[in-house]
Amino acid sequence: MNLLLIPASIAVTYFVYWLNIKCYNRWKLVILTPILISPIVLILLLNATNTSFPAYYKGAKWLGYMLGPATIAFAVPLYKQFDVVKKNFVEILCSLTIGSAVAIVSSFLYAVWMHLGSQLSNSLVPRSITTPVAMGISKVIGGIPTLTAVFIIITSVVGGLLGTFLIQLLRIKEPSAKGLMLGMSALGAGIAKAFEMGELEGTFASLAMITAAIISIILASTIFPLLQGDLLL
């Protein structure tokens, strides 16, 4: 029975995801994104079948494991778009350095302002970075990696929902700027949204996610400890 649970949890997760993608493609609503709906459906299924999370995760963690290789796979589009990167290097570097710094500082300041406590606040800090990297940073700075993963998903959904509205409000016209802001702030769902706007927007959004991860690693290990020391003690 326990042995069966491993392939079963992988198969069920994949099936729920597959069905979710079908619905998402049919209606094109950000709220239907698989990173929001699939986990909710699976939680309900675990409850209904009286399965504990550790029992489920024993098998499903192998799907989560593939996030590592999938992150590495981003080297391929990065390589293919290397000329675009070189041409827009200043724009990419400056906007993402500012974006990453604002993400770290504003998440933390708003969290402290709301009195969320150090564990939750620390877990919020890497919420604008791609998950495998963010979970690593979360652990190092004293957060809870799983909670960080959940906050990233909420970020992605919120960013995907607000993105179009903010682009209009701030009168962002450049495709590169649209892509960079969506990829920087809304990650997965932002990239999907950017690709709906156009190929160029989507490319910049994917670039933003990878580049921001690298910049954030540097920022989180340099400026954040200072901020943390000043505000939490």
Partner 1 sequence: MKFVTGLLQVAAITLLFLLGNAIANYASLPLPGSMIGLVLLFLLLVLRVIKLEWVEQGANWLLAEFLLFFIPSAVGVVDYKDMIGGQWWKLLAVIALSTITVMAFTGLTAQWIAKRRKDVPGESSSHSS
Residues 66-125 that bind partner 1 (CB under 8 A): 66-80, 82, 88, 90-92, 94-96, 98-99, 102-103, 106-107, 110-111, 114, 116, 119-120, 124
Asked if residue 51 binds partner 1 (CB under 8 A), the reply is: no
Whole-number Å distance between alpha carbons of 224 and 5: 41
Q: What does the block give as tokens for 137? A: 């940073």
Asked if residue 153 binds partner 1 (CB under 8 A), the reply is: yes
Calculate the alpha carbon distances from 191 to 87, 106, 155, 160, 218 in Å: 21, 22, 13, 9, 23
Cβ at position 3, least distance to partner 1 in Å: 18
Size of the site for partner 1 (CB under 8 A): 100
Q: Which stretch binds partner 1 (CB under 8 A): 161-169, 194-202, 225-233?
A: 161-169
Cβ at position 152, least distance to partner 1 in Å: 8
Whole-number Å distance between alpha carbons of 43 and 33: 16
Q: What does the block give as tokens for 144? A: 């809870």
Asked if residue 158 binds partner 1 (CB under 8 A), the reply is: yes
Q: Give 188 or 228: the residue with its C-beta nearer to partner 1.
A: 188
Calculate the alpha carbon distances from 76 to 142, 194, 206 in Å: 33, 19, 11
Could you tell me the sign of the dihedral formed by the alpha carbons of 197, 201, 207, 213, in that order? Answer: negative
Q: Any idea what the Cα angle at residue 115 is, between residues 111 and 121, rounded to 5°?
A: 40
Asked if residue 172 binds partner 1 (CB under 8 A), the reply is: yes
Cβ at position 106, least distance to partner 1 in Å: 4
Asked if residue 170 binds partner 1 (CB under 8 A), the reply is: yes
Q: Give 103 or 228: the residue with its C-beta nearer to partner 1.
A: 103
Among 30, 33, 203, 207, binds partner 1 (CB under 8 A): 33
Q: Give 60 or 228: the residue with its C-beta nearer to partner 1.
A: 60
Asked if residue 32 binds partner 1 (CB under 8 A), the reply is: no
Cα atoms in the Cβ-side hemisphere of radius 13 Å centred on 198: 11
Asked if residue 159 binds partner 1 (CB under 8 A), the reply is: yes
Asked if residue 154 binds partner 1 (CB under 8 A), the reply is: yes
Q: Give 149 or 228: the residue with its C-beta nearer to partner 1.
A: 149
Per-residue buried b or exposed e for 161-182, using 16+ beta carbons within 10 Å of the residue's own CB: bebeeebeeeebeebbbbbbbb
